[in-house]
Chain A
Amino acid sequence: MTIRDIVDKLDLKVLAGEDALDKEVRTGYCCDLLSWVMAHGPQNGVWITVQTHTNVIAVATLLDIACIIIPESIPVNDKTIEKAEEEGVVLLSSSASAYELAGKLYSLGISSPSED
């Protein structure tokens, strides 16, 4: 499934990375502890986090995480959006909770990295 499919199906708002929406994603991950994500995060996957500071972009870049979804319409500052744009990381926003997003992604066939 491409990120674009996910954006359409989950009605997500694209904050950054419009050019990379055709990337394929297979796995997803949900966690707000950055070190934990560094240890277990999905390569070329979707990551849901409530953290919105610039370091989430650094983590995504280092792990080759394809796309980040920020839940519950949490405001994201311009610096983070700029950094995502710079690094080619797709940054998405949703009014749904992390729980809801993960459930919907799972039912669309986006699995956990451990099942991939």
Chain B
Amino acid sequence: MASKQGNGGNIRQRYYIEAGNFATAGEAASNIKKLLKQLGVDGATVRRAAIAAYEAEMNLVIHSLGGSLELIVNPELITIIAEDQGPGIEDIEKAMQEGFSTASEHARELGFGAGMGLPNIKRCSDEFDIQSEVGKGTRLEITFIL
């Protein structure tokens, strides 16, 4: 975890997420939730941001080769950026469909891979943007209006 206080009172926090590590999965989202609560963000927004952060974190654990989750908070917006180093999503439209999943057998046994991750994130966030290139990686940026 790396943290710094940005200019103008912005809070920036970056969490590195290890691919395939289910044991620590969810810790970044838990931290984000605690931090937003401490900042006095209202309960409903904290819940939406926590759900979205958790799903984004699980996507990194389940599907990526490793990446990071970044939280930026300013007086107007909460922004969460999930970035990874691949493998990239072949068909984003498909990935956005509820029930579509490419999760491994192992992930499914643990109760993941319901194909709800990205749709959940979209539903919870006020703005949602996803860019992906096969062989390069995926960048997801979501915002919550305060």
Contacts and interface: CB of A to CB of B under 8 A. Distances in A.
A58 B117 CA distance: 15
B133 interface: no
B23 A54 contact: yes
Interface residues of A, number: 22
Contact of A33 (B30, B58, B114): B114
Nearest to A58: B26
A33 B103 CA distance: 13
A79 to B, nearest CB: 8
Interface stretch (B7-15, B46-54, B63-71, B86-94): B46-54
A53 B120 contact: no
Given A35-B55, A36-B114, A38-B55, A58 B120 contact: no
Chain B contact residues, majority secondary structure: helix
Nearest to B61: A55
Interface of A: 32-36, 38-39, 43, 49, 51, 53-56, 58-59, 61-64, 79, 87
Interface in B110-125: 110-117, 120, 123
Contacts of B51: 38-39, 62-63
A59 B110 contact: no
